[in-house]
Amino acid sequence: MNAYVFPGQGAQFVGMGLDLYEGHPQAQELFERANEILGFSITDIMFEGTAEDLKQTKVTQPAIFLHSVILSKVLGDAFQPDMVAGHSLGEFSALVANGTLNFEDGLKLVSQRAQAMQKACELQPSTMAAVLGLEDKIVEEICNGVDGIVVPANYNCPGQLVISGEVAAIDVACEKLKEAGARRALVLPVGGAFHSPLMEPAREELATAIDNTNFHEPNCPVYQNVTTKGVTVSKEIKENLIAQLTAPVKWTQSVQNMVADGAKSFVEVGPGKVLQGLVRKIDSTMETSSAQLG
């Protein structure tokens, strides 16, 4: 069985999507439609902008979504997922890929999500940190013992967990994690505490938008960040997507469940190869590749 996986924020690169635009009329049409929906020329920033331009949350998230979704559409009949999953933002790409959301609705939600997250980031100094070389349980216990808000946010693969929260609490947690034997506890260059309780204002704003969007029954299961199980009921998918902004991304557990349910190969659709690396660390027997055209 083929599992198709979709990357999240951080996979962007200068010039992303230009080959798709230049090589495929269908891609060109979808990119132009995206410029109309967003009300600014995201293609200019994707194709010609600097790395700094691409780093703005309101640009990064739609750019990665567009790269992934347009690539999956251009693949045509070669795109045949038996199951899908996306890392954080990538879950929206996965939901367009399996027919739960249409292209326009998916893009609008991603744009609203990015703006809501940006606003939430500005309310309070917050950040995230990558913790390497410790068991998840130890990281969880240390976070629980720190004053202030600091929580596990991304279970990326065994021995790699990202924590999220208030700046002061993250600093204290990093010190304690190093004392406990972490190989690294490194504050990340992000503007906010994604997948933590500090995203509650964004979750509320996005919940309204998601509630007002038409979700269809998917053509294959999506393994969602919040529950890690394959879901095929649109009502459940909606609830999990609303919960996602303040809940941790359980990527390790999702991949393990996809393997248990019969996945034999993982194809990453979109920019970068981060998810392939994580999948191999979670289960070294899996075949991984990037979605390729022709």
Q: Is 195 a catalytic residue?
A: yes
> How far is C-alpha 170 from the chain's CA centre?
22
**Alpha helix positions (H), the chain:** 18-23, 25-38, 42-48, 51-55, 57-74, 90-97, 103-123, 136-144, 167-179, 200-211, 234-243, 251-260, 274-282
Q: Are 69 and 45 in contact (CB under 8 A)?
A: no
DSSP per-residue codes, 164-191: EEEHHHHHHHHHHHHHTT-SEEEE-S-S
Measured distance between the N- and C-terminal CA atoms of the chain, rounded to whole angstroms: 21
Q: Are 220 and 199 in contact (CB under 8 A)?
A: no
Taking the CB of residue 97, how many other CB atoms lie within 10 A of it? 29
Element (H, E) at 163: strand 160-166
> How far is C-alpha 85 from the chain's CA centre?
9
Active-site choice (72, 88, 93, 164) = 88
Q: Is 88 a catalytic residue?
A: yes
Take residue 115 and report the two structure tokens written for it: 């703006």
DSSP per-residue codes, 46-104: HHH--HHHHHSHHHHHHHHHHHHHHHHHHTGGG---SEEEESTTHHHHHHHHTTSS-HH
Q: Please give the C-alpha separations between residue 194 and each of 50, 72, 169, 206, in angstroms, as whole numbers.
A: 24, 27, 15, 14
Active-site choice (67, 195, 196, 254) = 195
Catalytic residues: 88, 195
